[in-house]
Amino acid sequence: MVTIRSNARGTGNPDAERPGASIDRTIRGNQEANQRTGERVKMAQDLDKLTQEIQNSILAEERKIYSEKVVELFLNPKNLGQIKDADGVGVVTGPCGDTTQIWLRVRDDKIIQVRFLTDGCGPTISCGSMLTEFVKGKGINEVLKITPDELTLSLGGLPESHLHCSLLSVNTLRAAIRDYLASKREPWKRLYNVRKPSL
């Protein structure tokens, strides 16, 4: 006589699962996955908070050194970029190793568009931004009279260790104007793109 022993699950099959066990495992798996996702989200939020705190700390230190105008233009620079087929291009590398490039669009000896790029520090970016805003719509002769001191004053001043930033911007603008005047005298240069290299 053969005796069939029933297991605790009551199916008579020792390998059979209780009803709903598969659903329970899926629910547990989803709960564990949600917990891991929640932990990752919290880590990301903590990292974002730490990053913001570091940025705020850096900005607070910068504001002790630089004027609000310098910080504002460094964070939100104006006129960044290039001008295709510009009428004048200037590239200058300063004594600190920073390079600035300025592009001009000129009509009737008046600057109607100006762009700049630099690989320099925050004050260099601020100087380029302020200068390019200042010269838009002005005549070439008027622009040539701008001095580094005037640019520095318009930014609310610069530390002595960064005064060369305003000099770099003004010298680059003058180089772009010289390029414009040279190509105006010798327009054939534009046909052969005899210009200074880009950054």
Please give the single-letter amino acid code of residue 127: C
Cβ within 8 Å of residue 112, ≥6 positions away? 105, 106, 136, 137
Catalytic one of 71, 127, 151, 165: 165
Distances in Å between the alpha carbon of 52 and those of 38, 47, 123, 188?
A: 21, 9, 22, 53
Place of tokens 């850096």: 58
* Spatial separation of the C-alpha atoms in residues 194 and 80, rounded to whole Å: 23
| 121 has catalytic annotation | no
| Token code pair at residue 13 | 């099959």
- Tokens 């622009």 belong to 143
Please tell me which residue in 96, 121, 163, 181 is annotated as part of the active site.
96
Q: Which of 145, 199, 149 is nearest to 173 (CA)?
A: 145
Cα separation values, 120 from 60, 133, 142, 165, Å: 21, 18, 27, 9
Active site residue 165: yes
**Which residues is 80 bridged to in the sheet?**
116
Catalytic residues: 96, 165
